[in-house]
Structure 1
Amino acid sequence: MRYIFLLIGILFFSSIGYSQKSGDLAFIKDTLRIPKENKVVDAEYLITALKNGTTLQLAKANNAKFYLRICTSENLYFGKTDMLEIKSGSKSFFAKETTNYELGKNSGYYVIEIYKNYIGTLKEDGITGFMFGKAETSFSKQDCNQIKQMAKHFYENVCAKK
């Protein structure tokens, strides 16, 4: 009887946690709110947390579109719509008319549609920072490598499958 509870406990705790090692990254199936389109879609995604409290999610929605969700506690401009520039080393991805939505009192988020080839860029170059309006947020080399790992795992398991 004790072994049954131990087995159930191990299964439970292993299913709710996630690790930042690429071999341990687990896909989560949940809904994704896309405020710009005023939609909620089913999606599967990977998530990673960075040192400065920012979290990034790469998601594939059931409508076959890819999304990047960035949750941040820096440079908050709730309700402001502007150009979001995501920097990957010397390369940049521009998302026009992006809005910073309020997630909580001290945090906000962006949801942008991205393309499969950009996920390939992320797996090679990661994200070194982003600029919204005139406010810039930079990520450490360790955070950039963590994003690369997540993007590589996502690309190999979602984008590369035919």
Structure 2
Amino acid sequence: MLGDEVQLKAVKMTYNGVEITSKVINNLIRNYLQASEKQTYGKQSLKKLNRKGYALDSLPVTNADLKGLQRELKGYGVDYSARKSNATKETYDVYFKGTDITQIQTALKNYASRSLRQRERPTLKERMVAAVQKSKERNVGRKQHEKTFERGLDER
């Protein structure tokens, strides 16, 4: 009798362990499928962009403008892919879905205005030179104090 009870308890524990394991695996699979269904936005490979089934358009961008433009496109939720151009080494071809053309135009306008404002602003070195010049002009009428340092024998 005692052996039968131990056997039943062992079977129940095994069954409970299998149930818990199946629930955990089921939750893992469900979470994985939900995560894989989420659409990714922003920079993607050209292969992933082609899989979406949209017609792709391209835009040539210089190397210096690429990073700022990518930041703008990411902010607008545009799917794009950047590849080096075969024609010239200093340009990139940015591929994007044809349906995102209005978002691309808006992002380009914003990036162009932002970069133009940054180029018009004086550089840090120019601002420092101007500040030094301004401080010299302000200090023209002031007396210069001479710093003297005298030590007596008792102060050592």
- Shorter-chain TM-score above 0.5: no
The TM-score with structure 1 as length reference comes to 0.26
Comparing both structures, which one devotes a greater share of its residues to strand? 1
Computing the radius of gyration from Cα coordinates, the structure with the larger value is 2
Comparing both structures, which one devotes a greater share of its residues to helix? 2
The TM-score with structure 2 as length reference comes to 0.26
